[in-house]
Structure 1
Amino acid sequence: MSLHPPSFIQLGSEFFERTEPTPVRQPELLLFNEAWAKANLAPESLPSSALELAKVFCGNQTLPGSEPIACAYAGHQFGHYNPRLGDGRAHLLGELKGLDGSDWEVQLKGSGITDFSRGGDGRCALAPALREYLMSEAMYALGVPTGRCLAVVSTGETVYRQGAEPGAIVTRLMASHLRVGSFQYAANQLGPEATKRLLDYAIARHYPHIDPNDAQAPLLFLQAVAEKQRQLIKAWMRVGFIHGVMNTDNCAISGDTIDYGPCAMLGTFDLNQVYSSIDQQGRYAFGRQPHIAQWNLARLTETLLPLMPGEKQEVLAKLQDFVDGLGESFERDFGEVLAQKLGLSDADKHQELIATLVERMQQQGLDYTQTFDRLTESQQDSSLLAPLQAVLGDWLPLWHEALASEPNGAYQLMRAANPRVIPRNHWVEAVLEAAVEHGDLAPFKRFLKVLQQPYQQLDETSDFQSAKPEYDLSYQTFCGT
């Protein structure tokens, strides 16, 4: 197995630091994403044994072509700007080219101290490593744009977080690790020329339909990134995902989900739901995610202002219109998501119906996933109508009336939008506890198997469908890595 050096290094040394992973004492391969490897890599390119895989994916053994770096970036964290963040516990090893020609960056997380560690130990605990693997694979199966995980390796070492915990390293796969924070770093620390280099690189990497020499390239790039973010947030809202830490350094230019540290899934429907222990003000609550995505894109827009041609006031006015338009788009998007989940093709036509459902779900404390799953299945199982009627009242016949005017059957549209099973918080914690406290990965793997087919009712799906609202009332997540 060999890599290409990170293409990111062509931007110049001011964008990264060369750094080697710190060897670990006793690496053991816990998880390897065979499905991803089979789809993207030639079988003969992989190390032949679990021990060799463990050595490679903990950083003890260097792959041919690897040139490990830690990338520099800045970021707004809960609204406060930090001019120098960067990869404090991660090493970008290089790039793989998939069998379909796609490029993947390979990054180790938890692989040791870098120049950006800011006093941290550069390591990762086992539970967050397993969580990232589980959640990213679940999100991929749900149809949400996301980075992937290739492997989790235990290190045989102890890290100290809430207490002493076993250490691990997770191998991340991303189209790139470019973030809004990458552009903030370039614009504020390096200047317009470096920002233009970064823009050209990002265009070539992710949006090659844009001509970088076009005077309007910065605006076209912003529009392309914004559309990717819109689709991402729509997907999050559709499945009830709460990221928990939507800082600009966690907003990927590719439009993929990155950083699963304090994430959680919505149980009882509440637009104000927050699980992250550090989000004391509810900045990143479930219902605020579209607004925060707009805010992050506004910060990206600011970094490209010096590259925009024309008189400054005219450029500012054009960009303000762009940002304002994003707000309107994100506002409409959630209505479209709910319309799809209800089997309705025209969100505008059914605004009142959708708004009434949102109000009833919030008032009644209904489970988000279960409600839409039961509405979906009620199309084929009339026994579900009575319990739905009991909680939704006169809304239910109004919905049926709306469905009757749809030209195509609603069931398939709804089934594609509404998962049967999600990585519910109490089940995630249960399988992590079994793995970390008892060394038993069997429940984790069983749960993962179900999550990889979230729109199907498998024999074991029902084992993981139960809601636990009383658990979620006091549930908190932590960055924890």
Structure 2
Amino acid sequence: MTVHFPFQNSYSALPDSFFARVAPTPVAAPRLIKLNRPLAVQLGLDPDLLETAEGAAILAGKTVPDGADPIAMAYAGHQFGQFVPQLGDGRAILLGEVIDKDGVRRDIQLKGSGPTPFSRRGDGRAALGPVLREYIVSEAMYALGIPTTRSLAAAVTGEHVIRETALPGAVLTRIASSHIRVGTFQFFAVRRDTEAVRRLADHVIARHYPELRDAERPYHELLAGVVARQAELIARWLLVGFIHGVMNTDNSSISGETIDYGPCAFMDAYNPAQVFSSIDEMGRYAYANQPRIALWNLTRLAECLLPLFSDEQEKAVAEAQDILGAFSEIFSTAYQAGLRKKVGLFTEREGDDTLIQDLLEAMAKNQADFTLTFRKLGDSAVDDSADARAQFMEPAAFDEWSGRWRARIALEPQSAAERQAAMHAVNPAFIPRNHRVEAVIQAAVNDDDYAPFEELVQVLAKPFEDQPEFAAYADPPLPDQRVLRTFCGT
């Protein structure tokens, strides 16, 4: 049998200015190193066929499957606040779209598949390390219940790419509800192509916000919809200690999914100013800055949509500002509700926000591990001897707070076991610890050993379960294991 992709392509039916038609560059010796079999089934694909040599050739970009219409998408973007009028897919090619088992249209894209007209002198390739990082983190985010692009497959190419040194080349097959970004709108807005902006907005509404098609003011409602999704997404990031690392407008998805896992990381010790990205020297995209930056990005989207709001500039700006003004409340509502769940509160009482903020401040002062503090706090709900306090440099700081917390939860009718179960359902035991991810990458790159990668992916697929046999994966790094800097995958 032949590998079959039931493509139903819509983006490539848009005008030619939206993309460049380009096929992946064939590679020397494709070898599949990981297939996400459950996701393949969800997409209506045959995993057994994808694991054949023919499937590996497709997933590494050596051959193009029937029905594909490969394109590199055009977009612009603000990168660290500086506008670049033309970026585009410089090392990624969208093979096409399929309708999954739930009736959702999904992009199938190859990352690292060779140069495109947008490559800007780059080789269009990806090294193995960034491919594994994106596979691990994107699938971990999915397991955590956070909207995200996903990883269908990782394949090595049999070739090397040159970065600081020669590294094994690889291709990631990425799945997204779409790859349309704030920067996609900016690409046309900066060219004053209002008709293209309208065409793109109509496409986004039909694909991601179909309930808005008959709205009286569909473009206003589109902005409101993107604002709401982004506000809720960023709240979810903060609740698990995730730092994207490079929140440029070209990395901000219109669908509300987390996209483009470059120098991303999860915090170990809680620090609102935490930065890992080696290129974020000023801390623009630090952990606590992410809500502010998301609103900044959304403001750039609003600027693109102004001509669709009204011919009167002043009126359009006022209407956009009104919509953007909802971001803070939506974010705060989602974030505070998530924090309440993390500390096991079922009802709302005056003083709760202060109680939670006091915990976060104590964690920051005491370098408490973000993930373990909340996980162990769930255990403390049923066992006074649980070691949440062990996360604090000065355990007395936790003891003082814990006394107030116990007095507060005593006012609620839930049992200790019910509270622990609820807290464990939102506080993961396992996250992609930076030192674990780096160890996996080194084993693969240096020794062609993918067993650590497979085991880490297996553990992260069930982040809320204790998994005693893998308990060590929950441990924070030792001092000599700490990863202080992360790097983009270009």
Match of 1:441 among 447, 450, 453: 450
The answer to whether the Cα contact below 8 Å between 2:35 and 2:51 also exists between their aligned partners in 1 is no
Distance 2:200 2:24 in 1: 26
Q: Secondary structure at the match of 2:359?
A: helix
**Which residues of structure 1 form unaligned runs of 5+?**
none
Asked whether 1:396 is paired with 2:402, we answer yes
Q: Secondary structure at the match of 1:106?
A: strand
Identical counterparts, % of pairs: 45
**Counterparts of 1:67-466 in structure 2 under 5 Å?**
67-189=69-191, 191-211=193-213, 214-309=215-310, 311-345=312-346, 346=348, 349-384=351-386, 387=389, 390-408=396-414, 409-466=418-475
Asked whether 1:27 is paired with 2:27, we answer no
Distance 1:242 1:296 in 2: 16
CA-CA distance at 1:162 after TM superposition: 2.4
CA displacement 1:99-128 (0-9 Å, x = unmatched): 222211110010001000000000000010
CA-CA distance at 1:56 after TM superposition: 0.9
Distance 1:158 1:280 in 2: 30
Name the residue aligned to 2:43: 40
Distance 1:385 1:184 in 2: 50
How many residues are aligned here? 479
Distance 1:38 1:327 in 2: 39
Q: Secondary structure at the match of 2:210?
A: coil
CA-CA distance at 1:332 after TM superposition: 4.8
The answer to whether the Cα contact below 8 Å between 1:95 and 1:105 also exists between their aligned partners in 2 is yes
CA-CA distance at 1:354 after TM superposition: 1.3
The answer to whether the Cα contact below 8 Å between 2:226 and 2:255 also exists between their aligned partners in 1 is yes
Name the residue aligned to 1:2: 5
Q: Secondary structure at the match of 2:261?
A: coil
CA-CA distance at 1:215 after TM superposition: 4.5
Between 269-278 and 30-39, the greater mean CA deviation after superposition: 30-39
Q: Which runs of 4+ in 1 moved over 6 A?
A: none
CA-CA distance at 1:480 after TM superposition: 2.6
CA displacement 1:20-77 (0-9 Å, x = unmatched): 110001111111111211333253x862653111111112122110010000000000
Which residue identity is paired with 1:330? F
Q: Secondary structure at the match of 2:172?
A: strand
Distance 1:128 1:30 in 2: 14
CA-CA distance at 1:313 after TM superposition: 2.1
Distance 1:105 1:348 in 2: 46
Q: Secondary structure at the match of 1:260?
A: coil
CA displacement 1:164-191 (0-9 Å, x = unmatched): 1010011000110000101111211251
Q: TM-score, normalising length from structure 1?
A: 0.95
Distance 2:228 2:349 in 1: 19
Distance 1:162 1:262 in 2: 17
Which residue identity is paired with 1:69? I
Q: Secondary structure at the match of 1:156?
A: strand
Q: Secondary structure at the match of 2:108?
A: strand
CA-CA distance at 1:471 after TM superposition: 4.9
Q: Secondary structure at the match of 1:47?
A: helix
Match of 1:478 among 468, 472, 487: 487
The answer to whether the Cα contact below 8 Å between 1:186 and 1:198 also exists between their aligned partners in 2 is no
Q: TM-score, normalising length from structure 2?
A: 0.94
